Amino acid sequence: MSRQTQPFRPSIFELGGVGREHLMEIGDLLVLGRAFKARLEAIKKETRQTDFEWYPYDTLSALVHMDHLLAGPHRSLRHLIGDAPVLDIGCGDGDLAFFLESLGCRVTAVDHESTNHNGLAGIRCLMDRLGSTVEIAPVDLDSQFELPEDSYGAGFLLGVLYHLKNPFYALEKLSRHARHMILSTALAAPERTPGVPAGAPVAWLADENEVNADDTNFWMFTEEALRRLIRRAGWETLAFHLTGGADRRAFCLARSRYGLSNVVLRSGWHEPEESGWRWTEREFSIVARGERRLRLDFYLPPELLARASPVTIEVTAEGRSAGRRSFNESGKLSWKLRLPAADGEIVFRLSHALPPDETDLRERGIVVGSVQPE
């Protein structure tokens, strides 16, 4: 089978003169997705393969649910992705990966060869027919996995979470690599959790072949359990959508909180620790994006208090005072701030910091775990 010299990118040109920025709006992608699906189906029909079976489900149908999920500025995938590469996790035959590539994205398609429907034969066949440059990463998400690159603008984790033995680990690991995530998963049906109060954060563990005669189905979460899992694995939920019917599913848009990646950081920040928390310098700053109330969660090291007590933090927003507070105890602390302005630079100034020494060459103030709207 010969590789074509140019990748197949029909959608960008078929609408004639419409810019790529506009084409990344989810409403437009519904139209483009239908055209791209028809092209893929034609290729599959033309390709006479006897040694594997194509993935039987319509991956691009998720665009319909994304249309319900995404609102405001999030309706633009360009807004979510930026110029960074994209992850298609649990890619099946790569339909979504190739579609995103046709829109100009650089895509890594992730799946585990032993659990992929056809051992990745389908995506490799389509890649050849399309002349695609999508990168295929055969990764086992239930292992201590690594990804080809450190940073991705967005990841798509559609219909994968309930197939994982270790969904918490996978989501937490992905929060270190992807700024945004669009995920979907099946939810636990009420009849599977008899006696469980409504809104309880519980999960049901499926037995072998209990769900669709498929022994790769493991965890089915209630809605509250899924929301809690997403949060505790290092994500901030931006949008949530539930489908109806017997096959009840949740679609979620989330933004990573690892290393304060949900915050626009300015000056005075050190690289994140393994936990995702960040040391600051004596003075550090962020940019407010429409928030009038913020909660700062941080760790005040005892060494800082031992140097001088109390530790005072003064905050200004666009040059105007936003608060001043002194702390006499070390440990994990929180401070709720009310800002005089909803936009602009917020500067935090500590009364003192730990100077560089032989064990650490950095100036160190406090260790910030999260900055969240209140």
Q: What pLDDT was estimated at residue 49?
A: 65
Q: What pLDDT was estimated at residue 22?
A: 46
For the stretch 194-230, pLDDT in tens is 777 878 898 889 888 887 778 888 999 999 999 999 9
Q: What pLDDT was estimated at residue 50?
A: 67
Residue 98 in tokens: 């190739």
For strands 107-111 and 135-138, give the pairing. parallel
Cβ burial of 4 (10 Å; 0-12, 13-18, 19+) is: exposed
**Residue 267: half-sphere exposure toward Cβ, Cα within 13 Å:** 7
> How far is it, in rounded angstroms, from Cα 368 to Cα 374?
16
* Domains of the chain and any CATH numbers: 11-256 (3.40.50.150), 260-373 (2.60.120.260)
Q: What pLDDT was estimated at residue 15?
A: 33
> How far is it, in rounded angstroms, from Cα 68 to Cα 27?
10
Kind and range of the H or E run holding 220: strand 219-221
The β-bridge partners of 240 are: 252
According to DSSP, residue 14 is labeled H
Task: State whether residue 201 is helix, strand or coil.
Answer: coil
Q: What pLDDT was estimated at residue 99?
A: 96
Beta strands in 257-310 (DSSP E): 264-265, 269-272, 278-280, 283-289, 293-300
For the stretch 321-362, pLDDT in tens is 999 999 999 999 999 999 887 678 999 999 999 999 999 999
For strands 283-289 and 178-186, give the pairing. unpaired
Q: Is this structure's pTM higher than 0.75?
A: yes
The β-bridge partners of 187 are: 221
Phi-psi map region of 294: left, alpha, beta (phi>0 left; psi -120 to 50 alpha): beta
Low pLDDT (below 70) residues in the chain: 1-23, 49-50, 191-192, 246, 342
